Amino acid sequence: MSPLVIHPGLNEQTLNQERILCLKQGRVTPKFHYETQRQSELWLKVHEQFAPPADVSALYESAGQYLSQLIKPDYLTLVALGCGGGEKDISILRKLPAQFIFIPTDVSVPLVQAVAQRAKEDGICVGASLAFDLFSAENIRNFIRPHLSQHNIFTSFGLVPNFPPQKIFPRLHSLLKPDDYLLLSANLAPEGIDKVLWQYDNQPTKDWLTQFLQRFGEPKGQIIITTERSQQLDFISARFIFSDTSTLRAGGNEFVFEPDDQIDLFTSYRYTEDSLETTLSEHSIDVVKEFISQNGEEGVFICRAQ
């Protein structure tokens, strides 16, 4: 089994403090939806049931084939940032030279271990599995440096929708050296965001998102999932609205929520192809090549730092 390396910042004391802050501020950090084995299982169920259609696999294989023609022989490592279920990274790796080393990373230890095992079963060479929070951990490049080659490919499949652009893109840019490649995916809404609401406004997604609150008590209320727009960005918002007085307890702290109080559980940003490329450029990231699914709802973008 490949070694598992956990960032020192991913310790229980720090995580407890961050969970308490989520309840205090009424906004859940995305990583806390993927922590436990149960959450991981529910997320994978949602992903399998509501992910975009089957043409997406060919999309990632095409991106991998194109990338294989761009890279030089000294590109030997693919680092998956937020590997999730790992299917997309594995589709890319199948098109790259066999000597490539796969470094799966995620904030969820169960997910990163499952992806490492799946990649091995697929005949892929797996290096260390890294568990860390891309956004709260300091010196991430230093943490992953021992596992890198001279030139590297970073993937970010599934992260872009969950974070506002001013948070996700500077962090991704900070990891890139001039010769590195970044492959990222984005959920697109070519016909408007209302057309894809059903992928989120469903019971399996609500069951998954409610898990965070249920760790601290019995919240009384319901999840409302809607489409929103702010600062020229469309996004889907999931909020838990309390219908009755509920008490949640975390780390010796007690939080009392009254009827109509709300907690923001989840946000998913949706771009168009043009708006994403413009936003990337504003954060010093250039698109080399893009691949768009047949239904127009998912894109893979091969990028480099400016």
- 7 assigned to some structural domain: no
Predicted confidence at residue 98, as pLDDT, reads 85
Shared-domain flag, residues 183 and 294: yes
- Please give the residue range of the domain that contains residue 202: 19-51+191-270
Residue 3 within a domain = no
Instruction: Output the domain CATH number for residue 82.
Output: 3.40.50.150
In 3D space, the residue among 249, 241, 261 whose CA is nearest the CA of residue 217 turns out to be 249
Tokens of 64: 């991998």
Domain check: are 281 and 179 in the same one? yes
Do 72 and 95 fall within a single domain?
yes
Residue 75, sorted as left (phi over 0), alpha (psi -120 to 50) or beta, turns out to be beta
DSSP string, the chain: ---EEE-TTS-HHHHHHHHHHHHHHTB--GGGGSSSHHHHHHHHHHHHHHS--THHHHHHHHHHHHHHHH--TTEEEEEEET-TT-HHHHHHHTTS-TTPEEEEEES-HHHHHHHHHHHHHTT-EE--EEE--TTTSS-HHHHHGGG--SEEEEEESSSGGGS-HHHHHHHHHHH--TT-EEEEEEEB-TT-GGGGGGGTSSHHHHHHHHHHHHTSB---EEEEEEEEEETTEEEEEEEEEESS-EEEEETTEEEEE-TT-EEEEEEEEEB-HHHHHHHHHHTTEEEEEEEE-TTSSEEEEEEEE-
CA distance 301 to 282: 16
Predicted local confidence at residue 189, as pLDDT: 86
**Residue 232, Cβ density class (10 Å: 0-12 exposed, 13-18 middle, ≥19 buried):** exposed
The pLDDT tens digits along the chain (306 residues) read: 679 999 988 888 988 999 999 999 999 999 899 888 899 899 888 988 887 555 678 899 999 999 999 988 887 899 999 998 899 999 999 999 888 999 999 988 888 999 999 999 999 999 999 999 998 767 788 899 999 998 899 999 989 999 999 999 999 999 999 899 999 999 888 888 998 899 999 999 999 999 999 999 999 999 999 999 887 789 999 999 999 999 999 989 999 999 999 999 999 999 989 999 999 999 999 999 999 988 888 999 999 999
Q: Domain check: are 61 and 73 in the same one?
A: yes
Beta pairing, strands 253-257 & 246-250: antiparallel
* Joined tokens for residue 5: 């390396």
10: in domain = no
Tell whether 45 and 183 lie within a shared domain: no
Q: Do residue 97 and residue 201 come from a single domain?
A: no
Distance CA 182, CA 91 (A): 15
Residues 75, 121, single domain; the answer is yes
Same domain, 196 and 241: yes
- The answer to whether residue 196 is domain-embedded is yes
Task: Name beta bridge partners: 4.
Answer: 129
Domain for residue 290, yes or no? yes
Contacts of 220 (CB under 8 A, 6+ apart): 242, 243, 244, 245, 246
* 217 located within any domain: yes
150 plus 279 within the same structural domain: yes
Question: 74 to each of 30, 56, 67, 153, 224, how far by Cα in Å?
Answer: 35, 29, 14, 11, 49
Q: Name 79's bridge partners.
A: 103, 154
In the block, which residue shows the tokens 């050296």? Answer: 177
123 lies in a domain? yes
Query: Is residue 34 domain-shared with residue 80, that is, in the same domain?
Result: no
Residues 144 and 291 in one domain: yes
Q: How many domains does the chain have?
A: 2
- Indicate whether 180 and 250 sit together in one domain: no
For residues 190, 159, 283, 65, the Cα torsion angle rounded to the nearest 10 degrees is -70
In a domain, 1, yes or no: no
CB atoms closer than 10 angstroms to residue 236: 24
